[in-house]
Amino acid sequence: MLKLLAALAAEPLLWRHGYDLMKDTGLSSGTLYPLLMRMTEQGLVEAEWCEPVQRGRPPRHAYRLTARGVALAGSIATEGKAASRLSLA
């Protein structure tokens, strides 16, 4: 979940497709999509159907973080920075 959260937090206002997130995180579809569904149910991610760019293509889901998801990503990043400072000391 941390890889996915970080990928979505990199550009929190940008709607991202699952395939793009798979490439960015290295997660397989069997891992990514259940995570996205769970994070959507928890209110961390919002999902939207997007009309196809090319004719004849099916609509696709796009995902982005909610305000709650952005806050969680920020707190995890802050905790990670604090932990790395402690390990360097």
CATH number of 21's domain: 1.10.10.10
The answer to whether residue 24 is domain-embedded is yes
The answer to whether residue 83 is domain-embedded is no
Tens of pLDDT along 31-81? 999 999 999 999 999 999 988 888 888 889 999 999 999 999 998 887 765
Sheet holding 45-50, edge to edge: 16-17, 60-65, 45-50
| Separation CA 24–CA 73 (nearest Å) | 17
The answer to whether residue 87 is domain-embedded is no
Q: pTM, whole model, 2 decimals?
A: 0.81
Range of the domain at 11: 2-74
The answer to whether residue 27 is domain-embedded is yes
The answer to whether residue 84 is domain-embedded is no
Q: Count of residues for the chain?
A: 89
Split into its structural domains, the chain has a count of 1
